[in-house]
A and B are shown apart, each in its own frame.
Chain A
Amino acid sequence: QQQVKQSPQSLIVQKGGISIINCAYENTAFDYFPWYQQFPGKGPALLIAIRPDVSEKKEGRFTISFNKSAKQFSLHIMDSQPGDSATYFCAASIIQGAQKLVFGQGTRLTINP
């Protein structure tokens, strides 16, 4: 019940296209859903996060869509650029108390120029 399932494992998108990564969770107590971006040799960096009281959050070219009833959330990268090529992780945690982040398996995104 603590798992977060992420798909696809890898994704190739043409420059200017839309990249979409999906995650699903089981634990309905989760109330914080961040996305992390990780470049080779670096630690994960927070990209964008959402709470379940909203269905969508947008920051620049990055948008999180959240479906509470389906227990799913997704990351959309608009106008994808070669610099967006990285591994993306979704995660979930319970805000009240210890912020124990449970990560998805990761998606390796490649943007072709």
Chain B
Amino acid sequence: EAGVAQSPRYKIIEKRQSVAFWCNPISGHATLYWYQQILGQGPKLLIQFQNNGVVDDSQLPKDRFSAERLKGVDSTLKIQPAKLEDSAVYLCASSYYLNTEAFFGQGTRLTVV
């Protein structure tokens, strides 16, 4: 079974630029999560989708972050404009359904300079 795929693996941008991350969950997984992991901290949930609907986006900085999951499969997370404090690893995870084990991708390491 293929795991959660994320791209790119690394990204370096200047502050105020925009960036987008892509995630392809495990086939058949209805629930998709985006987490932000700042160096030395645990992952923090940004947004959770159930199919193509948003379940929880309470911790998503909506003035600069946006995410979509068209057709209930792939998802993109966008930051516009980026700030220095957005430097982190962005992890995508998926699960078969709510309340089951979540499988994480390798993440995208974003550096904002």
B48–A98 contact, CB under 8 A? Answer: yes
Known: A89-B43, A101-B45, A106-B41. A45 touches B104 (CB 8 A): yes
A46→B90 CA distance, assembly (Å): 18
On whether the beta carbons of A98 and B98 are closer than 8 Å, the reply is yes
A97 interface residue (CB < 8 Å to B): yes
A44 near B43 with CB under 8 A, answer yes
Are B40 and A43 closer than 8 Å at their CB atoms? no
Given contacts A99-B95, A101-B45, contact A43 B101 (CB under 8 A): no
- CB-based contact A43/B106 at 8 Å: yes
Would B93 and A43 count as touching, CB distance under 8 A?
yes
Residue of B nearest to A41 (CB): B106
B residues in contact with A22, CB < 8 Å? none
Check A97 against B107 for contact (C-beta < 8 Å): no
Whether B98 pairs with A103 at a CB distance below 8 angstroms is: no
Bitwise, B60-104 to A at CB < 8 A (1) or not (0) is 000000000000000000000000000000010101001111111
Contact in complex: B104, A44 (CB < 8 Å): yes
Complex Cα distance, B36 from A103, in Å, reads 11
Assess the A105–B55 pair: CB atoms within 8 A.
Answer: no
Contact with B along A66-97 (1 / 0, CB 8 A): 00000000000000000000000101000111
Q: Which A residues lie within 8 Å of B99 (CB)?
A: 32, 95-97, 99
Residues of B within 8 A of A106 (CB): 40-42
Q: Which residue of B lies closest to A36 (CB)?
A: B104
Report the minimal beta-carbon distance from A2 to chain B, rounded to whole angstroms. 10
Q: Known pairs A44-B43, A103-B43. 14 more at Cβ < 8 A?
A: A43-B91, A43-B93, A43-B104, A45-B104, A46-B102, A46-B103, A49-B101, A98-B56, A99-B98, A99-B99, A100-B48, A101-B43, A104-B42, A105-B41
Q: Which residue numbers of B lie inside 8 Å of A, CB to CB?
A: 4, 31, 40-45, 48, 50, 55-56, 91, 93, 95, 98-107
Residues of A within 8 A of B (CB): 4, 6, 32, 34, 41-46, 49, 89, 91, 95-106
